[in-house]
Amino acid sequence: MARHRRRLWWAAISVSWAFVLSGCWDVETPEVLTVPVMMAIDWRHQAYRVTVEADAPDLLQSPGQSNSSGSSRPTWILQGQGSSVAEALLHTGLNAPTLNPLTLSHLRVVILGHSALTPKAMPGIWDWFSRSPYLHRTFWVLATSGPASRIAETTNPLGPDPVTVLEQEMKDAQVNGWITPIRFYRLTEVMTNAPNTAELVPLVTLKAEPGVSNGTNFTFDQGADVLSPTRLVGQWTLSEVMTYNLLTNRRPHVFFRLCQDGQCWTVGTVTSRTRILLTGQGIQAASTVQVGLLEHDGSSRTQLAPLWLERAVAARLSRQMFDEIRWTQQHRVDLFGLGTQEALWHPIWFNRHANQWMTRYAQLPLKVHVTVILHGTGNLQPPSPH
């Protein structure tokens, strides 16, 4: 009897393992799906307009073929419009040559057009993203100052797959300190859980490629949009984005030129260590910045140049940091997370006065102190008497 029960037990385990090891039952091959890798969202005539760049499976298998538009590129450009993002995507999928359903599991870049960054359109975008199933949440989010569809529809001379070129240009801009790319999971966390804060979304634009009649390339030299959950707060220049990187201890590539008594120096920041704290006296920002001397124009050499340079650079950086923090106070957007500090240090007060926090934040006194350490000053010392 015991042996019979043991056999039944092992039989039941074997059957259960057969279900577990059989794999995914709803898997579909790419040939029966439309797989977007880039999506652009605009707002036109009180409706969402979605443009996607999708891989074309038949062209990937046979590169020499042409699609219905006469192009040999292994991608499709599809468009749809609707009262919601979901409806626009539904119409986009119906416009695919094969009528295959869309799957967003391989989405790599989403671009928000300037028209979509309005109080009427933005809540619908964040709501759809937060509810969308099977969405790979590590894709990049970018913005543009014009229609986002232009970015998705562009023909790039560097390759048949524009999204790959776009990602490479974005990485190069990040290395240069021009932008701080943001992934979707970080942006949606701010947009859905932190109503009083904001995030910087890099701006991408198109520029004509020299020597190519119909080709354009992507550039990230226009700065970034400052987005809150409900509105476009403002637009920062490239210089302001670099100052923000200093304040947040990211890639601190800030370059500028200083002149005195016929001499000019070009300097660039190397590293930064900045702390922005909320104290009883208001907001206090303290930063230690290492700066390298890149170029020196002038025939005379003075022993006082390094000291003067350190003070001049410190004054310049202090002014830029002060203006940037003050800007967030004037626009009532807690970009540096000081409200989180207040909630941790004074939870009882903050819970009672949470609705008044932005009013208090806008009125806080501000003090900024910058210490500069200058490197590469050997050529500024007076010549040796020997």
In the chain, what are the helix, strand and coil shares in percent, each to the nearest 5? 35, 30, 35
CA dihedral angle for residue 154, residue 158, residue 162, residue 168, rounded to 10 degrees: -130
Angle at alpha carbon of residue 347, lines to 343 and 350, rounded to 5°:
65
Domains detected in the chain: 30-236 (no CATH), 238-380 (3.30.300.210)
**What are the residues facing 218 on neighbouring strands?**
206
The pair of structure tokens assigned to 6 is 């043991």
Q: What is the CA radius of gyration of the chain?
A: 27
Neighbours of 214 (CB within 10 A): 9
DSSP assignment of 93-125 equals: HHTSTT-PPB--TT--EEEE-GGG-STTTHHHH
Q: Is this model's pTM higher than 0.95 or not?
A: no
Low-confidence ranges of the chain (pLDDT < 70): 1-5, 7, 11-12, 14-32, 56-74, 95-98, 155-160, 209-215, 298-305, 377-386
How confident is the model at residue 69, as a pLDDT? 40
Q: How far apart are CA 90 and CA 52, in angstroms?
A: 12
In contact, 218 and 151? CB cutoff 8 Å: yes
DSSP, collapsed to helix, strand or coil, labels residue 220 as coil
How confident is the model at residue 382, as a pLDDT? 43
